[in-house]
Amino acid sequence: SREAAVANGAEDNPGYTNFRNEKEKDMLKEYLVLCNNNEFEKADDLLKHVLESQLSRLKHYVGQYNHILCLERNNGIPHADIEFNFDYNKHNEVLQAVQNYSDCNRIPYYNYEIRTTKQDDAMLSCCHGRDAMWIDFQAKADVSKKYFGEMECALKHIGYRKHWAKGLDNTDPTYLVQQFPRVAEFVKLMKSFDPTGKFRNKQAESWFEVMDTLLNKNEAEEEIAKIMNKIKPELMEIQAISDEKKDAYCSEEKNETLCLES
């Protein structure tokens, strides 16, 4: 509870809690300019001051959910973000992969966010069937495409789902759809309840079309596989007969050749 958090030393924030105050935001703007000019030593030194200031304000606080870290971010430094969802049991592997990437690359923005949520049973929920860990990466728009693509490659082997409103233009639709075990059931219900797309916007419609196309393709491939498995014994029998005839022909041809040589 809020009272328990305060009793444990948290600062009680009754109003909005900004992720960055005005001084921190000005320092961060300067940090980005220095990075763009490849003055990384000065940039990193300035970033330490930003983090020290934030840590002094945000180390341990409690407040109303919709008042925390939202006001300034909506009126702050514009950025793009992409958020991945993982099985919580793989959190160490995820963090190690991010660390490995960061050891070899300079990330274009100074922070990323980590959160956790309990599992649920919603068909297209990223938390379907498993407790989840989320990690959100941010970057200025002009460098986000390359950075987000690299993070996808670094994390894909672990198996992620993606936040449906963050970075979906930077993704492999086939891979993404395969991560949701009830997607086929969802598409079937959507066709039934909303056949004309009255309750879908353009983005939702585009993803519905992708899902439907991929599922139809998968169904076709599965049907072909079933047919092939069904007729496989017959094909093997035909192949065996063909091999016997081939062997018999070769044997006769060999005998004829020997006769001619004699």
Strands 161-162 and 80-87: antiparallel
Mean pLDDT of 67-84: 69
- Position 76 scores a pLDDT of 59
Determine the 3-state secondary structure of 196 from DSSP. Answer: coil
Mean pLDDT of 56-61: 81
Q: What is the pLDDT of residues 164-198, one digit of tens each?
A: 888 877 777 788 888 898 988 988 898 899 988 88
Contact present, 135 and 94 (Cβ < 8 Å): yes
* Cα 11 from Cα 85, distance rounded (Å): 30
Residue 154, strand partner residues: none
Residue 69's CB is within 10 A of a number of other CB atoms, namely: 15
Walk across the sheet containing 80-87 and list its strands: 112-117, 132-139, 80-87, 161-162
* Cα 159 from Cα 152, distance rounded (Å): 10
Q: What is the pLDDT of residues 216-239, one digit of tens each?
A: 876 656 555 565 566 566 546 655
Six-digit token string for 121: 């049973």
Strands 11-13 and 112-117: unpaired
Is residue 259 over pLDDT 60? no
pTM: 0.72
- Position 167 scores a pLDDT of 80
Q: What is the pLDDT of residues 97-139, one digit of tens each?
A: 999 999 999 888 877 889 999 999 999 999 999 999 999 998 8
CA-closest candidate to residue 6, choices 62, 50, 56, 47: 62
Contact present, 45 and 92 (Cβ < 8 Å): no
Is pLDDT larger for residue 200 or for residue 88? 88
Dihedral of alpha carbons 26, 32, 37, 43, sign: positive
Six-digit token string for 175: 């891979």
Is pLDDT larger for residue 230 or for residue 155? 155
Is residue 258 over pLDDT 70? no
Mean pLDDT of 17-21: 78
